[in-house]
Amino acid sequence: MRQRIASLLRASPVRLALGLVALFALISAASLAASYTATARALDQQMRQQLRQDLAGFRAAPSAPALAALVAGEARATDPARVVLSYVAPSGRHFGNGRLDRDEEGYVLTTLEDPVTPIDGNYLALTTREHRGLLTVARSRAEIDQLFGTYRTIALLSLLPTLVVALGAGLVMARRSARQVDRVGRTLDRLTSGDLSARVRPTPAWVEDLRRVGHGIDRMAAAQQTAHESLRQVSSDVAHDLKTPIQRISVRLDELGQTDLDPQGQALVELAQADVAGVVSVFQSLLQIAQIEAGTPRSRFRTVDLVPLVETFADLYEPAAAESGQTLETDISIDDAKVTGDPDLIGQILANLIENALRHTPPGSRIVLGLHRRDGRTVLGVSDDGPGIPDDEREKVLRRLYRLDRSRNKPGSGLGLSLVSVIADLHDAPLRLEDANPGLRVTVSFPPQRKGEETTR
């Protein structure tokens, strides 16, 4: 689950949605902050104007006793939590509903009854000397302080839900786009791995850009598949059409070899027969590859036990290995190695891999036929301690008719590993070429049999 969330958050559509939501949040927060600052400043200016008007009204008193009486009268009808009025007469007597004192931190407003306890809250105060006394008017800043809470409530009740909804909608749309991108990616992976039948097939509900990309990929894949099938068909047709005349040439050479020829002529006939046999072998391999790629052999699939099959091929090729100074061994670690497939084609895999190892390893080399279990799959392998294949050549040797430079002076058509690769694909068994340190290890991993598979085929 965490991996899916992390993968979703790394997707470009999700990042774009998160970026847009963050930008919207930033703009909205900046707008609210600017609105709050402007409103608070307007309230502060309004409060200062009211304080100046209050002071102007009290200054109209003609004398100190009249001012004291006016302040005392106004104070009786005024809540000190809203407005504090204070007049210190020339005699030092305090009038009003509060008093302005000074402490270690500055000025503080207190009530007349309890000069020790300050009045709670923040106040904006103006003080002036009138009739040899000290007149103070202070108004509470509660409205400005409450303004911050009001804007905070607005942010919580409007901005936050809006952000949540926008983020949710963005994630939904981004997830939808991410699924479309993922579908395009999976199709490209299949095309890259050689499955030219893979298609994106975008629907009208797709995002326009991705829909155009998907249609473009489908058109490209269709063109590649057509070209590939045409080339494969041409190869098959050429191999099929030339097979008969080449076989006739072989028959004619056999008849010529039975005539009275001098030793030099007989040697030339034998060389020509060997060359024709090589050509026939190449054509037969090409025709077999075309037949396998068409999926025809699947009709012959049945349960195959690889243990006796490997042991049989080890016995068959052991004399040839001994004759060339090589050793052929088996390394079987499992008793039950039943898979579903064509036994003749699986035998072809073993034969090609063994012959490839015998052909490309020097005398004294050790060749091992392995059969093991790995991740629930039955792994058939052939390894040797010969020169191996360089990393950058391992994909190329699976191509048809491709041969390494050092192998061009050795017999072979360059179709052995290609045929193995095609047969492995037919059996849904991945083919891997690995470093055996030293040498080469070729493995084919057969999938486990599905329930009832051995009885339905």
Residue-wise pLDDT for 66-113, tens only, equals 988 998 888 888 888 888 888 888 888 888 888 777 666 667 777 776
What average pLDDT does the chain have?
80
Domain end among 156, 183, 210? 183
Q: 3-class DSSP state for residue 209? A: helix
> Whole domain around residue 282: which residue ranges?
229-293
Q: Are residues 306 and 322 in the same domain?
A: yes
The answer on 267 and 176 residing in a single domain is no
**Residues 248, 249, 253, 256: is their CA dihedral positive or negative?**
positive
Q: Which run of H or of E encompasses 278?
A: helix 263-293
pLDDT given for residue 312 in this prediction: 92
Q: What percent of the chain has pLDDT over 70?
A: 81
Residue-wise DSSP of 239-270: HHHHHHHHHHHHHHHHHHHTS---HHHHHHHH
CA 69 to chain CA centroid, Å, is 82
* 383 and 325 in a common domain: yes
**Alpha carbons 275 and 283: distance in angstroms, whole number:** 13
Q: Where are the alpha helices (DSSP H) in 142-202?
A: 142-154, 160-192
Could you report the per-residue pLDDT of 333-382, keeping only the tens digit for each? 988 889 998 888 898 899 989 988 898 888 989 999 999 998 889 999 99
**Which of these ranges, 10-24, 29-43, 191-205, has the smallest mean pLDDT?**
10-24
- Regarding predicted confidence, which is higher, 370 or 209? 370
Residue type, 255: E
Q: Number of H helices and number of E strands within the chain?
A: 11, 13
| Per-residue pLDDT, 449 | 81
Flag whether pLDDT at 257 surpasses 60.
Answer: yes
Query: Do 36 and 100 share a structural domain?
Result: yes
Domain boundary among 293, 326, 348: 293
Non-local (6+) Cβ contacts of 93 within 8 A are 68
40 close to 144: Cβ distance less than 8 angstroms: yes
3-state secondary structure of 106: strand
What is residue 372's predicted lDDT score, i.e. its pLDDT?
Answer: 93
- Do residues 367 and 440 both lie within one domain? yes
pLDDT tens per residue, range 140-187: 888 888 888 888 888 777 777 777 777 777 677 777 777 888 888 889
Cα distance between residue 175 and residue 9, in whole Å: 9
Question: Which pair of tokens denotes residue 133?
Answer: 């006394």
Q: What is the pLDDT of residue 152?
A: 82
Does residue 202 sit within a domain? no
Note whether residue 193 is domain-resident: no
The number of domains in the chain is 3
Q: Are 101 and 115 in contact (CB under 8 A)?
A: yes
How many angstroms separate the CA atoms of 420 and 407, rounded?
Answer: 18
Give this prediction's pTM: 0.45
The predicted structure's pLDDT at residue 409: 47
In a domain, 11, yes or no: yes
* Cβ contacts of 151 within 8 Å, gap of 6 or more: 32, 35, 36
Question: 183, 207, 242: which is the final residue of a domain?
Answer: 183
